[in-house]
Amino acid sequence: MEKKFTVRTLQEMKRRGEKAVMLTAFDAATARWAQEAGVHMLLVGDSMGNTVLGYSNTIPVTLEESISHTAAVRRGSDKCFVVGDMPFLSYQVEDLAGSVRNAGRYIKECGADAVKLEGGRPMLPVIRRMIETGIPVVGHIGLLPQSVLKDGGYRIHGKAQEERDALIADAQALDEAGCCAIVLEGVPRELAAEITSLVKASTIGIGAGPGTDAQVQVLADLLGYGGDGYLPRHAKSYANVNDIAVGAIREYVSEVQQGVFPADGNSVSCAPRKED
């Protein structure tokens, strides 16, 4: 990717019918990998709670943790469109000004291109205020990981007609409010395709079928590392980095214990260097 990916780039890709690619990233190294591979957008998702920070779900992730990781991702990628995923209770409370200030930190301190927050029509007041302030917003409807306790677990949303109608109304409301993109998570592919055709904003699918404008996946699922081996139905593993890493570390342990590492070439000596 030669040029910086922007909101305008995303809009142009939707108009041309070209698929955009988003991936999660949580540090400078993974951001560099993704940019070199041609990924357009990086989501510093609150999935860091599960995949990086060792939490059982996304809810414990703090604003400061998210800010720190978002800044690291920005330092690793100068071309990708970086989205900071606002964690639980950083925007849902009634303090509208505080929510906007929290969102502004991603732009001002991290150099992010947008923020993402979960929820449909109930979130419109804070979304509108953020956009009025000049902060690009990515919406998120369907399966909402930050509401997993309220929902009693992870499940598909939009199978029932009432839920389907509500999601369409949410998507149209977010679109009219000015969201630059809308994540559709855990919704039937037919519904995701219909919403994509109804809104001007780019839709980003995860567990929503191939009919969205873009796709996002969690890096740990994609590369096969950091988890307990469970792979969600919507994901595909393209490598097994966990086995590669454990094998390499095991070899290092063995060589240290056997006295093989460090070898002469891995250290310096006070003895005069022999001439060739």
Residue positions annotated with a catalytic role: 185
Distance in angstroms (rounded) separating the CA atoms of residues 130 and 101:
9
Q: Which one, of 102, 10, 38, 25, lies nearest residue 70 by Cα?
A: 25
Q: Which one, of 180, 166, 185, lies nearest residue 122 by Cα?
A: 166
Contact by Cβ (8 Å): 42, 34: yes
Query: Tokens for 106?
Result: 């991603």
